Amino acid sequence: EADRGCSAVVTVAVGDRYIRSVQVCSMLNLAYVYQRKRRFDDAVTDFSQAIRIDPEYAEAYRYRAMAYDQLGMTDDAIADYDVAIRLKPNYGGALGNRAYDYLKKGQFREAIADLDKVIRLEPDLAQAFHYRGYAYQNVESNDRAIQDYNQALALNPGNTNALFGRGLGHYYNGQYDLAISDYDRIIKQEPEASALLNRGSAYFGKGDFGGAVADYGRAIEMNPTYAEAFYNRATAAAAMH
């Protein structure tokens, strides 16, 4: 993380205000250590002390927000990301973190707005396209979601989460063969019950009920309590007769 760490004493008044005292430096560096050790309450305490001393240091707000995230305090985290971004409007790290929190809260349009800015700042960041694709999918902009998943996969072909999302997008569009192709790739890399369930649903959508039954059966073997797979297998089996 480029903005981590703090050298001894820096006082610069050119462009952005950038003041760090020895005390602020000490607080920040100790807080970073607490974060690495997963002592997030202690990290929050020291980031808060650094902020009291220098309330215009954007990075301190971002990292306190990250500690809040680890503590499950999402609203507090978003409030700190808000301040960090107000102080440093092109702060890609804080924008990306806030977008992820918006996704967790189901605030998909807010996430898209932040990810638009992240992508303008870092157009080669595969994860940003993946997350924006997920957000678009959840506001029923399926074609735009697929476009973003395509870009995420162009930048990082091994991103199975983006592949999973694109497969789902193809399924929603009724493009069952494309969905099956994406789930084939996932299952070949790392077989998982949810990918088998979704491929089974794509087989069902195209009328291949035998293929659907087989995939639902494999999903059940991997997860014997997978109620949706049991239900879908029964539906596909009934459709065969």
Provide the percentage of residues in the chain whose pLDDT is more than 90. Answer: 75
Give me the residues paired with residue 19 across strands.
11
The predicted model scores a pTM of 0.84
What are the tens digits of pLDDT across the range 195-238?
999 999 999 999 999 999 999 999 999 999 999 999 999 999 99
What are the tens digits of pLDDT across the range 97-113?
999 999 999 999 999 99
- Please give the pLDDT value at position 110: 98
121: tokens are 């700042």
